[in-house]
Amino acid sequence: MFENIPSSIKKRMEYLEDLDRKHRTENVPRHIRLRQVPKETGKFLAIMASLAPAGTYVEIGTSGGYSALWIALACRKRGRKLITFEILPQKVSIARETLQAAEVEDVVELVQGDARVYLGNYSDVSFCFLDAEKEMYGECYEKIVPNMTSNGFLIADNVISHEEILADMVAHALSDKRVDSVVVPIGSGLLMSVKT
């Protein structure tokens, strides 16, 4: 997957990496900042998405579409489709540009709106990347886990960088008998839960 990333995807990834770096160094307001995952996390997501069982792939929190591009590599490889949710119109327009420029509109569907409204519509989630506001992680977790296929993956970002605010959710996942969970120290820290 990583040796032959199509040039349209690679070019857009590099564009978003530059923009994200700029946002982090110049004090850009929070609702504009991309706040995207680092490259290592992107690679991890692509590998895990390529190993996930058949079913619906979901992303909660698209921003400019950087993590969606990594997951799209796995979708291409496995013949899967990703549905990604973004609530902010400014981010939606960057993400639309991303999907078009990277030529991945056939494998990534962008939905504008609050992901929590839509999550109940999918009963066969085999891969979910949760990367939105930390206050809503617990609610999203409870909406996703019952709808996951056996051996499906739920990956949540920022569980180390935002350890305090996510402590209850992580403790719950680690003792939840419906899943096997582990914290993976890549990037900002990922909680990975696999449906039993």
Q: Give residues in contact with ligand SAM (CB under 6 A).
A: 35-37, 60-61, 63-64, 66-67, 85-88, 91, 114-116, 131-133, 136
Tell which residue, 103, 113, 105, 179, has the closest CA to residue 141.
Answer: 179
Distance, in Å, from the CA atom of 135 to the CA atom of 194, rounded to the nearest integer, reads 22
Structural tokens at position 6: 């199509």
Question: Closer to ligand SAM at the Cβ: 82 or 148?
Answer: 82
Q: How far is the CB of 86 from ligand SAM (least distance, A)?
A: 5
Measured from the CB atom, the residue of 36 and 193 that comes closer to ligand SAM is 36
Q: State how far the Cα of 175 lies from the Cα of 172, in Å rounded to an integer.
A: 5
Residue of minimal Cβ distance to ligand SAM: 61
Least Å from the CB of residue 85 to ligand SAM? 4
Nearer to ligand SAM, 115 or 169 (CB): 115
Helix (H, G, I), strand (E, B) or coil at 182: strand
> How many whole angstroms separate alpha carbon 34 and alpha carbon 47?
23
Which CB, 1 or 151, lies closer to ligand SAM? 1
